[in-house]
């Protein structure tokens, strides 16, 4: 099978500098959704018709092994398919898809292929019954129910506008027939366009079989023309993804308040609280709990780990039985072992922290290698950046770092060392030793705290 995806439309109603088909749904360009559905059908070739100025579209999908055709002027859907014809295998049928219709199930397209083959058709149409068919081409059938033609809304009579069976636009056609039909299309219609839909009447004229089938759900064939339609389809898609997660046994506190922009893979007994966003590929092992308002992008979380509210995690790997957050920030390159605790307002970047280590409050751990059972006190900062280069901090097993400590990298704190609170560490700390750098405390006896003059006599306004 050949597949042609029409994507030459400018999408003026998006009011955007970005080509319409590059706008994202669930974090993926609209056109990419269509390409993925197309690839699921294992076609011999996918040919994309892009418009003038659509180089950005091509650049965004360059690695996918697609055939790109430019339609310089948008003279209609029939003209668009005509541009692709020279690139198609004439011995195989051609499926027409639309770059701005992102949610068609591959199974629906497969069914269209099955009726096409089973009924030995020259043409198979995907149609739909709509209570409000306004704006769509209508399927005109004879008394026996045979499709006669498609009439566009703008060309339709009042009686034809009463028809509720619409053309979704998606169709499968015999390619040899397309080669005969498309060059003969006329643009003598209200819109002055070459309508692909006119091939239906040509098939009838040629006495060929036309079959049709319908999608399971109306949203499968809804297109995106405006930000409002994009947002509406996004909600439908998210609702579907949430339903699938619930079916697998994932506990969502509210299926309307989760967003998955990528792949979310969950083990058994995973619970996700409200307003979480998952991007890229996220893996949550058995028993993971995600608190409310968390963002996880490209993250792997080990079994039994709890991510508390308002945590932001990106490109991180977390072991089992860890406790992260609330208000934790894990930046790219973070690798945490089992039972690690990362508390509020702790930022970790490009660092590994081995099992049972803790940084529970207010710390920055960047470019560090941290051993097991390390305690990183509140206010500990790795000074990893000298304004030009990044340097590493190495903290070996069983180290205890007191509060408000600066570790000026490159520096190593050897096994079992203790750093006193307030230390600014500029040289390596020896194993099993207390290292402290701070001015000695003094007690000044007889010192009096200053008092404001006339404090009692004159009330001040501040
Ligand atoms: C088309 C169908 C209509 C159907 C509707 C479903 C025709 C003549 N009409 O109407 O029966 O109900 O879709 O949404 O086919 N495109 C190009 N090049 C062009 C024109 C269009 O690539 O020259 C692409 C657009 O980018 C879009 C798709 O084809 O993705 C549909 O074009 P559009 O103008 O929206 O067609 P409709 O008038 O909505
Ligand atoms: Ca349209």
Q: List the structure tokens of 364.
A: 């920055």
Mean per-residue pLDDT over the chain, rounded: 96
Q: Catalytic residue among 15, 79, 361, 391, which? A: 361
Tell me, rounded to whole angstroms, the distance of Cα 170 from its chain centroid.
25
For residues 364 and 298, membership in a common domain is answered with: yes
For residues 264 and 352, membership in a common domain is answered with: yes
**Ligand 1 pocket, mutate which of 50, 98, 169 (most atoms under 8 A from CB):** 169
Report the interhelical angle of 30-40 vs 106-118 (nearest 10°). 50
Ligand 1 binding pocket includes 11 (Cβ within 6 Å)? no
Mean pLDDT of 65-87: 96
Residue 277 sits in a domain of what CATH number? 2.160.10.10
Identify the pLDDT of residue 18: 92
Reply yes or no on whether 143 is catalytic.
no
Identify the pLDDT of residue 63: 80
**How many whole angstroms separate alpha carbon 447 and alpha carbon 434?**
32
How distant, in Å, are the alpha carbons of 35, 80, 100, 113, 123 from that of 110?
15, 23, 19, 5, 14
Question: What is the per-residue pLDDT across 342-354, written as a single tens digit (0 to 9) for each?
Answer: 999 999 999 999 9
Check whether 309 has a pLDDT greater than 90: yes
Non-local CB neighbours of 349 within 8 Å, separated by 6+ positions: 331, 332, 333, 334, 364, 365, 366, 367
Q: How many domains does the chain have?
A: 2
Mean pLDDT of 30-39: 97
Q: How would residue 65 be classed by pLDDT, with cut points 50, 70 and 90?
A: confident
The answer to whether 239 touches 219, Cβ cutoff 8 Å, is no
Closest atom of ligand 1 to 75 CA is 23
The answer to whether 436 touches 418, Cβ cutoff 8 Å, is no
For residues 299 and 413, membership in a common domain is answered with: yes
**Domain end residue (candidates: 179, 197, 221):** 221
Global pTM value: 0.93
Identify the pLDDT of residue 53: 75
Identify the pLDDT of residue 220: 97
For residue 9, give its domain range.
2-221
Q: How would residue 461 be classed by pLDDT, with cut points 50, 70 and 90?
A: low
Ligand 1 binding pocket includes 198 (Cβ within 6 Å)? no
Domain membership flag for residue 451: no
**How many whole angstroms separate alpha carbon 152 and alpha carbon 192?**
12
Q: How would residue 72 be classed by pLDDT, with cut points 50, 70 and 90?
A: very high
For residues 342 and 242, membership in a common domain is answered with: yes
Among the listed residues 103, 122, 106, the one whose alpha carbon sits nearest the alpha carbon of residue 31: 103
Question: What is the per-residue pLDDT across 226-239, written as a single tens digit (0 to 9) for each?
Answer: 999 999 999 999 99
The answer to whether 6 touches 42, Cβ cutoff 8 Å, is no
Among the listed residues 71, 105, 64, the one whose alpha carbon sits nearest the alpha carbon of residue 87: 71
**How many whole angstroms separate alpha carbon 366 and alpha carbon 349?**
5
**How many whole angstroms separate alpha carbon 251 and alpha carbon 284?**
12
For residues 208 and 341, membership in a common domain is answered with: no
Give 132 Cα–ligand 2 centroid separation in angstroms: 15
Check whether 454 has a pLDDT greater than 90: no
**Ligand 1 pocket, mutate which of 7, 9, 201 (most atoms under 8 A from CB):** 9
Question: What is the per-residue pLDDT across 113-161, written as a single tens digit (0 to 9) for each?
Answer: 999 999 999 999 999 999 999 999 999 999 999 999 999 999 999 999 9
Identify the pLDDT of residue 54: 83
**How many whole angstroms separate alpha carbon 242 and alpha carbon 236?**
10
Domain membership flag for residue 115: yes
Check whether 315 has a pLDDT greater than 90: yes
Among the listed residues 240, 245, 237, the one whose alpha carbon sits nearest the alpha carbon of residue 288: 245
Task: Supply the DSSP string of 262-279, one letter for each residue.
Answer: EEEEE-TT-EE-SSEEEE
Ligand 1 binding pocket includes 75 (Cβ within 6 Å)? yes
More confident residue, 438 or 33: 33
Q: How would residue 457 be classed by pLDDT, with cut points 50, 70 and 90?
A: low
Q: Hey, which bits of 142-257 come out as E strands?
A: 147-151, 165-173, 210-213, 251-252
**How many whole angstroms separate alpha carbon 30 and alpha carbon 222?**
12
Ligand showing the shortest atom-to-Cα distance for residue 150: 1
Identify the pLDDT of residue 62: 85
Check whether 460 has a pLDDT greater than 80: no
Domain membership flag for residue 52: yes
Question: What is the per-residue pLDDT across 183-241, written as a single tens digit (0 to 9) for each?
Answer: 999 999 999 999 999 999 999 999 999 999 999 999 999 999 999 999 999 999 999 99
For residues 183 and 67, membership in a common domain is answered with: yes
Residue 26 sits in a domain of what CATH number? 3.90.550.10
Ligand showing the shortest atom-to-Cα distance for residue 11: 1
For residues 282 and 200, membership in a common domain is answered with: no
How distant, in Å, are the alpha carbons of 2, 67, 184, 444 from that of 43?
6, 12, 27, 86
Q: Hey, which bits of 123-198 come out as E strands?
A: 123-129, 138-141, 147-151, 165-173
Q: List the structure tokens of 289.
A: 């709990």
Give 77 Cα–ligand 1 centroid separation in angstroms: 6
Identify the pLDDT of residue 455: 64
Check whether 447 has a pLDDT greater than 70: yes
For residues 245 and 342, membership in a common domain is answered with: yes
């Amino acid at each position: 099978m050949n597949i042609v995806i029409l994507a030459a439309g400018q999408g003026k109603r998006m009011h955007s500098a970005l080509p319409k088909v590059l706008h994202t749904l669930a974090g993926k360009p609209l056109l990419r959704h269509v390409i993925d559905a197309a690839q699921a059908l294992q076609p011999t070739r996918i040919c994309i018709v892009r418009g003038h100025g659509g180089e950005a579209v091509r650049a965004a999908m360059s690695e996918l092994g697609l055939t790109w055709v430019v339609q310089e002027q948008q003279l209609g859907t029939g003209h668009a398919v005509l541009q692709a014809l020279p690139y198609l295998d004439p011995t195989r049928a051609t499926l027409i898809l639309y770059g701005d219709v992102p949610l068609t199930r591959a199974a629906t397209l497969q069914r269209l292929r099955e009726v096409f083959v089973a009924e030995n058709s020259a043409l198979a149409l995907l149609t739909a019954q709509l209570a409000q068919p306004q704006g769509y081409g209508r399927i005109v059938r004879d008394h026996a129910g045979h499709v006669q033609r498609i009439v566009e809304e703008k060309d339709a009579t009042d009686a034809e506008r009463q028809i509720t069976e619409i053309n979704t636009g998606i169709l499968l056609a015999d390619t040899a027939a397309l080669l005969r039909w498309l060059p003969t299309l006329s643009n003598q219609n209200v819109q002055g366009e070459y309508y692909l839909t006119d091939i239906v009447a040509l098939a009838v004229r040629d006495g060929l079989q036309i079959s049709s089938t319908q999608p399971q759900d109306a949203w499968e064939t809804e297109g995106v023309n405006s930000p409002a339609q994009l947002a509406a389809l996004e909600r439908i898609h998210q609702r579907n993804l949430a339903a699938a997660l619930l079916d697998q046994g994932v506990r969502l506190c509210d299926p309307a308040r989760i967003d998955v922009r990528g792949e979310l893979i969950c083990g058994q007994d995973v619970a996700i609280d409200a307003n979480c966003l998952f991007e890229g590929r996220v893996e949550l092992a058995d028993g993971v709990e995600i608190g409310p308002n968390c963002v996880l992008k490209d993250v792997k979380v080990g079994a039994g780990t709890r991510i508390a509210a308002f945590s932001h995690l990106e490109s991180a790997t977390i072991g089992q039985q860890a406790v992260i957050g609330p208000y934790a920030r894990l930046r790219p390159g973070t690798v945490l072992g089992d039972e690690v605790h990362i508390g509020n307002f702790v930022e970790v970047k490009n660092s590994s922290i081995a099992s049972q280590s803790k940084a529970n409050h207010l710390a920055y751990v960047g470019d560090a290698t941290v051993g097991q059972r390390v305690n990183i006190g509140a206010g500990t900062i790795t000074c990893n950046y000298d304004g030009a280069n990044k340097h590493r901090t190495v903290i070996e097993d069983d180290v205890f770092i007191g509060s408000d400590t600066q570790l000026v990298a490159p520096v190593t704190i050897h096994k079992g060392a203790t750093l006193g609170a307030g230390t600014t560490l500029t040289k390596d700390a020896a194993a099993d030793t207390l290292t402290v750098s701070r001015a000695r405390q003094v007690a000044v006896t007889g010192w009096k705290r200053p008092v404001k003059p006339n404090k009692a006599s004159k009330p001040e306004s501040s």
